[in-house]
Amino acid sequence: QKEVEQNSGPLSVPEGAIASLNCTYSDRVSQSFFWYRQYSGKSPELIMSIYSNGDKEDGRFTAQLNKASQYVSLLIRDSQPSDSATYLCAGGDGAGGTSYGKLTFGQGTILTVHP
Amino acid sequence: GAVVSQHPSWVICKSGTSVKIECRSLDFQATTMFWYRQFPKQSLMLMATSNEGSKATYEQGVEKDKFLINHASLTLSTLTVTSAHPEDSSFYICSALTNEKTQYFGPGTRLLVL
């Protein structure tokens, strides 16, 4: 089993809908999790981090962490065409939303938001 | 967020030559920087961890003599691809770790070896 695994998609949603991106991780991956967005040909940009069970909201984005199920998700509300990108889930080895070293990435989920 | 730059943004070179890529943290000091490689339609793979003033730590399967890393200051790390070959063509991305232990990525360097 890969350490961090994502549904590679692609995922297609209409504009204005909720996009749901999912990620599972193995025991060896850490305590803090990060969602990055990567546009084609560009490097990843950090959307948000989460390290406590439950939900964390930032604008149109909500990250959810369930440590018992080893599951992390990202919800994007009111999806816009500009949200079309590859979304990368990563696990970090620090507590409290930090990463002291290696980030372990999933393979990414391609999201397309169509008008 | 913190700003990380890379130079050059893209480079084309002949097989057998060496290429140096710079990674700079522009508005913060970074004791630790990371070098990743990303092949088309694949995720990022960590190559090595670069620590200021000490030797880099390489991931399994990454040749340290081929990918030379130097982290001579708190704002600069360099990756030199020695004797580059076409299979080294890839998107090389660095990241820098802030004092708050968050990684921010540079814009990446696209390398094409002919």
Instruction: For residue range B54-93, list pLDDT tens digits in order.
Output: 899 999 999 999 999 999 899 999 999 999 999 999 999 9
Q: Length of chain B, please?
A: 114
pLDDT score of B41: 83
| Residue segments in chain A with a per-residue pLDDT below the cut of 70 | 1-2, 8, 27-30, 94-101
Token pair, residue A104, equals: 């372990």
Which residues, other chains included, contact A48 with Cβ-Cβ below 8 Å and sequence gap of 6+?
A34, A35, A56, A58, A61, A63, A74
Which residues, other chains included, contact B86 with Cβ-Cβ below 8 Å and sequence gap of 6+?
B15, B113, B114
Cα B111 to Cα B92: distance, rounded to the nearest angstrom: 7
Q: Which of B34, B43, B108 sits opposite A108 (nearest CB)?
A: B43
| A32/chain B closest Cα distance in angstroms | 11
- A38-64: per-residue pLDDT in tens? 999 899 998 999 988 999 999 999 999
Cα A6 to Cα A25: distance, rounded to the nearest angstrom: 9
Interface of B with A (CB under 8 A): 1, 32, 34, 42-46, 49, 93, 95, 97, 100-108, 110
